[in-house]
Amino acid sequence: MSAIRIEGLTKTYGALRALDGLSLTVEPGTVFGFLGPNGAGKTTTMRILAGLAKPSGGQAWVAGEPAGPDGRARALVGYLPEEPHFYTWMRAEEFLASYVGGLFRLPRREARQRADELLSRVGLEDVGRRRIGGFSRGMRQRLGLAQALMNRPRVLLLDEPVSALDPGGRKEILELIGGLNDQAAVFMSTHILADVDRICDTIGVIDHGRLVALEPRDALLDRYAIPAIEVEFEAGAEAIAAWAEKVGGSGAAAGVEVEGRKVRIRLAGSEGAAGEVQRQVLGSGLAVVEYRIARPSLEDVFLRLVEN
């Protein structure tokens, strides 16, 4: 039985068509990265799966149960919205044990134990008795993840789960999320592509409410990634920028990015593009520190799919 199954899902808001026949399947044990540009329909999809919105057409199932505001699927889902909201006068442990535990009708002792366990897992064990009103946005994001796990969900829906965290906190929480796939299927939406590349084993890309790609991460990179070359020069910024502009207009490059002394060139699809870039590097008159074929990036794949 699939953890998530979506068939022909549509959602309209007046003249706006947020979802346009979306279909996909997510299997148990998967950490699924759900990608798309702003307005592509990611949050709408997650709200329907969480039972917070009804589709205009089509159907979705969570762990075999029809998704919807009145269905049994809601008890099988944990949901972290992009900007979670709380009763700020509550203490963190009170919010989890009394409020969230009460929503899921957990026995008082079990709810208290579960709350303590989750506060520790998300790194809030020292602030459990503090009022949520004094929490930073990053602390609220951690608390939001704890509440999403409170009912031991079969499916965990995470909308931008680490966007408010600093790099250290993001690494810590991503490692936690990546290790949850033995407990729940994780369905994660984020605009930080490096985070998806880091922990997701399967990736779906949505654009204008339609699925444009769905494959295991490595297969997606192999199929769609545009070859790239990275060059590091020992030269001044103006000389490097001028060379990068010349390469960008040569027809051999689909895109050029300059970061300090490094230049990343996404190769055009034409035969001989790599050779042309190599010739331009050798003829640049600039000292080359490093020249290498770059590992295909998820960002390259995403841009190619959305641009097409």
DSSP states of 198-252: HH-SEEEEEETTEEEEEEEHHHHHHHHPPPEEEEEEES-HHHHHHHHHHHHTSSS
Residue 230 has pLDDT above 80, yes or no: yes
Query: Looking at residue 71, what is its pLDDT?
Result: 80
The model's pTM is: 0.81
Residue 192 has pLDDT above 90, yes or no: no
The overall average pLDDT reported for the chain is: 90
The whole-number average pLDDT for the span 278-299 is 87
For residue 98, pLDDT beyond 90: yes
112 pLDDT higher than 90: yes
CATH number of 4-218: 3.40.50.300
Q: Where in the chain is the domain with CATH 3.30.70.100?
A: 225-307
**Segments in 122-166 forming alpha helices (H):** 137-149
In the chain, CATH 3.40.50.300 sits at: 4-218
Percent of the chain predicted with pLDDT > 70: 99
Mean pLDDT across 68-92: 90
**What token pair was written down for 168?**
């250290």
What is the mean pLDDT of the segment spanning 205-232?
87
Mean pLDDT of 157-167: 88
User: Model confidence at 308, in pLDDT bands (50, 70, 90)?
Assistant: low
Fold classification of 225-307 is Alpha-Beta Plaits (3.30.70)
Tally Cβ neighbours within 10 Å of residue 158: 26
Instruction: Find the mean pLDDT for residues 286-308.
Output: 81
- Average pLDDT for residues 212-223, to the nearest whole number? 87
In the predicted structure, residue 269 carries a pLDDT above the cut 80:
no
Mean pLDDT, residues 74-97 taken together: 92
Tell me what the mean pLDDT of segment 188-212 comes to. 90
Asked whether the CA dihedral 153, 154, 155, 160 is positive or negative, the reply is positive
Query: How many Å from the N-terminal Cα to the C-terminal Cα in the chain?
Result: 33
User: Nearest CA to 252 among 223, 221, 287, 281?
Assistant: 281
pLDDT for residue 118 is more than 70: yes
Pairing of strands 210-216, 202-207: antiparallel
With both helix axes pointing from N to C terminus, report the angle between 108-121 and 137-149 in degrees, rounded to the nearest 10. Answer: 130
Q: Which amino acid is at 27?
A: E
**Whole-angstrom distance, CA of residue 49 vs CA of residue 45:** 6
